[in-house]
Structure 1
C-alpha cells in the first residue's frame, strides 16, 4: 500500500478530511463533531467577510469593521456557529446532516474581492468505514509496537524452524555428534 493511500485512509477514519477540486474544498465530517472552515487570511480593520450557505446563498455569518454578526434566527444553524474575529474562519459545532451543503465565503478587502467555497458532507456514525475504533495517530502509535512484535515473532519462529532442520534428527547421529565433540575437548 502506498504512503499516500495510508495517509488518506487515516484522515477518512479519523473523521475529517479535505480535498480541493475546481476551487471548492470538500470537507467530510462525522455527525456530532465540530468542523472549522478555514479562511487562511488575517483580517484587517476594514475587511468584510460574508459567509453564505446553500443554493439560495442564505447569509449565516459576517464580519465587518471587526464586528461579528451571526444569524441565530435561522433554525438550521441555531447556536451552532462561531466565527474567528482574526481570520474569519467559520466553526460549526455539533454538526448535523442538515448542515451538509455548499458554504461560500466572500472576502472584501481594499485590494479587491475574493471567494472561498467549501462543500461540506456530514456522515452519520453508521455511514463511516470505521465503526469500531477510529484510526487516529494515537491508535497507530499504539499499534506499531504490536505489529513489530508480531513480525519479530514470525522471524524468530522461521529461524527456529530452519535451525531444527539442520540438527541431526535421530538419536544415534546425536550420540556420534556428542562423542566427537567430547574427544575434541580432551
Structure 2
C-alpha cells in the first residue's frame, strides 16, 4: 500500500503534485489516465497545471487509482467519520429538557423497506439513533393522515436488542454496554 502524505498547509504538496505522485506509484502516464477518465490529454494537463479540478473530481480520481480520501484530525490523528444519516424525515423533540434531533445524531438501524419493497410497514417505520453524548433514542415515523412523528428515549440494553434485530452488524457490541 502506498501512503501519499499531504503534509501541512505550510509545507504540503498541491493536489496536482499528489496526483502526479499517485499516477507514478500506480504506473499510469498522465495521458493514459486522462483518457481513462474521459478527458483529452491536453485538457487534463492544463487543469493539472492550474490545479483546477473540483474536490469531487479529485476524490473520483483518487478512487480510480485505488485510494480513498479521508479527513484526519491533525492534533489527535483520529479519522473523521461523517454522520450516519437516516432514511426518515427530520424529527426534533425535547424530552426532560433535552433536545433530541435526528439530524444531529447517527442512525444505527431501522425498519424502512423491511420487506424489501414498502417504505413503511402498516403506515409506520422507526429508526434507532445515538447522539453525540451517547444517548439512544428511537424516531417513529407515520404516514397516516393526521399521524405525527415522535421520539422516544431508550436505554442501552434495549437499543442493543433493537440493533441486534435490525442492524447491519458493523457496530461493536460495546457501544450498548
TM-score, length basis structure 1? 0.23
The structure with the greater share of residues assigned to strand is: 1
TM-score, length basis structure 2? 0.24
